[in-house]
Structure 1
Amino acid sequence: MATVLQFLSTYGNELLLKTWEHLLISIIASLLGILVAVPLGIALTRFPKGAGTVMGTLGIIQTFPSFAILAFFIPIVGVGKIPAIIALFFYSVLPILRNTYIGVTGVKRSLLEAGRGMGMTGWERIRYVEVPLAIPVIMAGIRLSTVYLIGWATLAAYIGAGGLGDYIFSGLNLFQAKFIIAGAVPVTILALLTDLLLGRIETWVTPKGMRKMKEAA
Structure 2
Amino acid sequence: MIDPVSAFQQTGTEYVVELVAQVEQDASYAGQYVTIVVVTLIVIVLLLSALWLGWRNRKLRQKHVEVPASIPEGLLDQEPLVLDEGMYVATVQGRDWLDRIAVHQLGIRTDAQMEVHSQGVAILRNGASNLFVRADQITDVRLESGINGKFVEKEGLIVFSWMLGHQEVSTGFRTKTAAGKRPLYTALSGLIPEAGPATQHAATAKPNTTPTDDSGRE
Higher share in strand = 2
Give the TM-score of the pair, scaled to structure 1.
0.22
Higher share in helix = 1
Give the TM-score of the pair, scaled to structure 2.
0.22
Higher relative contact order (CA 8 A, sep 6+): 1
